[in-house]
Amino acid sequence: MSAKWGWAIYDIYRAASRAIAPFVYLHIHWRRLRGLEHRSRWMERFGRPTTTRPPGPLIWFHAVSLGEGLAAIPVIKHCLQEYPNVLVLMTTTTVSAFEVIKDKLPNSVIYQFAPIDTPMAMENFLVYWSPVAVILMESELWPNLIISASRKGIAVALLNARMSYKSFKRWSLRISLPLIALMLSKFSLIVALSTTEAVRYQLLNAPPFIINFAGDLKYGKYMECNFSSNRPSKEIMTLGDQIINKSTCFRYLGSIIQSDGKIDGDIISRIQVGCLKWRNGSGLLCDRKVPLKLKGKFYKMVVIPEIIYGAECWPLKEKHNTKLSVAEMRMLSWMSGFTLRDRIRNEHIREKVGVAPVEDKIRESRLRWFGHIKQQPSDDPVRKVEGNITALLRFTAVGGLQLSQRENKSIEGLKLQLKGRPVWMAASIHSGETEVMISVHNELARVFPNLVTILVTRHPQHGQQLVEALQERGMHAALRSRCEMVSPCVNVYVVDTLGELGMLYRVSSIAVIGGSFQSGLSGHNFSEAAAAGCAVLTGPHLGHFSRMLAEMKQVDYQSVLQVRKASFFLTFIPKPRKAIHLRVEGKLELVKALKQLLSSTELLESHQRSAKLAFSAVSNGVVQNVWNLVDAQCLQSRQALG
């Protein structure tokens, strides 16, 4: 029954697209006059070719714009290597993509503009070029293209398949669901980017057997912050044969960095994270039986830290303060049970809840942070940012960054200080996990008296507190922001600086990744540690990094060691009479795994090799994996391609 509805809706779509074809022609012509379409090749948009088709089998690759087109180029090159006698047709929609991609494609590739999705244009295009397979990129789901190709016996594949939540909701409507189900049934292959995309395609009635995973063809991206007008900007960057796409913003350590130096994206992101935390606690915050002062304390402990995370470096303007204040007052009003109709002044609501304005909290945090910096010596690494603000920052794919001369010297210096001593590192640890790692260190120190543990805190401002807590227990600790040496008596090295994690992975042969040993956390990226050749260990809570773990374990089971849920309860007393009980998981198995790695050089080197090789296979084999799927499920046999 749903198939009949699908064909009925498609017939309506086909009739409507045929009826509006004359108006689309006028629209394309108007775009050409404005310079939005190619002046001499704009008729290609109606399926009218401007070049002769050579004889032989042909594969059609289609991408809508520049990003998708660049991601398709490695697959096209691989196709030509596998089948030198096959013709390749590449189409894109935008002029900007045409101007860049035309110089990046191999000389044998035919490049045309994609036809619009009207019956006549698509029919003319498919009849003239007669491809044996159509390879679509990302989310190019056009009914006339897919159904017409299927009717002619042409295999259709969707690579780097994406399906945003907004698109999923739109396709899930009663009127559009039968149509998308009909279209997806005509595909021979869908290579989804993640489990989320795969589930969404299955919910839209895509046959499960055509959905596969191979990795992201947009393997990496980079952002260029060019603050010097005299420095030329590179439009294309490559890592080997893989083209890395340029981005105008980058998510790094919980913040959003923009190439133009603005903070609008970061402000919006922090507001969204704060609102999410508020919603998670809305059962308490919106309960009228809970006193307002208690709600205010909960808000200050849970929501405010998320909103002002990284605010020490924000160059705030009045519009940013307004955004933050509006978002905060909306949450405080709901907590207090007021709406706009009540016409209650903001000051009155703040007084009842006991919460200071968010801009005051940011100012307080900034003064505390700058006071911490000013206390350091002038030659301290954390103060060197004051000397030279003009810099060119490039963020490439993991493992693609080269260390500077200063970092290389720092590595050599640390290696000399740690020479001859067993070393392991706990990276990106949260406050609740600090006690776990200290406890693990104490267990290991009984077996390895000369042990050095490197603790890299997730939040640098906690480094000083951690060192003081360790010294109160009689342990000898050194703090990196003070440039303290790892002397023979030091057994814990606390790192409270930013941007040095990649360098530290080259100092320690064992890396335990934090954010995964306490329920409520969702792990951190461990691919950088694997790329550096560390033996990688994680806890049971990985969140969306579970897929990365599964991929690397599939290559080599030893690549990442994940400890199981051997849990115990830990009582942490930061202040007198204020005990915090934490449920910690994985400590006992972590101690056992670290003892084995530190005791056996052969076992340690084996895990290091496995991690590095697994990372290399997962990151560098994406094009090969994609092509293997296309070859097996779309092209079927080499004889069919001559």
The pLDDT tens digits for 306-320 are 888 777 777 788 888
Instruction: Tally Cβ neighbours within 10 Å of residue 430.
Output: 19
**Per-residue pLDDT at 499:** 57
The model carries a pTM of 0.49
**What torsion do the CA atoms of 124, 127, 130, 134 make, to the nearest 10 degrees?**
50
The pLDDT tens digits for 405-423 are 555 667 778 888 998 899 9
Concerning whether 68 is annotated as a catalytic residue, the answer is yes
Q: Supply angle C-alpha 232, 237, 242, rounded to 5.
A: 170
The pLDDT tens digits for 201-241 are 988 989 888 988 776 665 455 566 654 445 555 555 554 55
Bigger pLDDT: 58 or 302? 58
Mean pLDDT, range 513-534, rounded to an integer: 82
Among 84-93, 338-347, 389-398, 416-425, the range scoring the smallest mean pLDDT is 389-398
Bigger pLDDT: 357 or 566? 357
Kindly tell me if the per-residue pLDDT of 111 is higher than 60.
Answer: yes
d(CA 434, CA 389): 33
Q: For the sheet containing 221-226, what is the strand order?
A: 237-239, 242-247, 221-226, 392-394
Kindly tell me if the per-residue pLDDT of 286 is higher than 70.
Answer: yes
Catalytic position from the list 44, 68, 138, 585 = 68
**Placement of tokens 């995309």 in the chain:** 197
**Per-residue pLDDT at 413:** 83
Would you say 334 and 313 are in contact if contact means Cβ atoms under 8 Å apart? Answer: no
d(CA 505, CA 317): 38
Q: What is the DSSP letter of 61?
A: E
- Using only C-alpha atoms, the chain has a radius of gyration, in whole angstroms, of 29
Residue 195: pLDDT band (50, 70, 90) is confident
**Placement of tokens 């189900």 in the chain:** 181
DSSP string, 333-396: HHHHT--GGG---HHHHHHHHT---HHHHHHHHHHHHHHHHHTS-TTSGGGGGGT----EEE--
d(CA 221, CA 242): 11
**Placement of tokens 């406890």 in the chain:** 439
**Per-residue pLDDT at 57:** 92
Would you say 217 and 622 are in contact if contact means Cβ atoms under 8 Å apart? Answer: yes
Q: What pairs with residue 560 in β-bridges?
A: 536
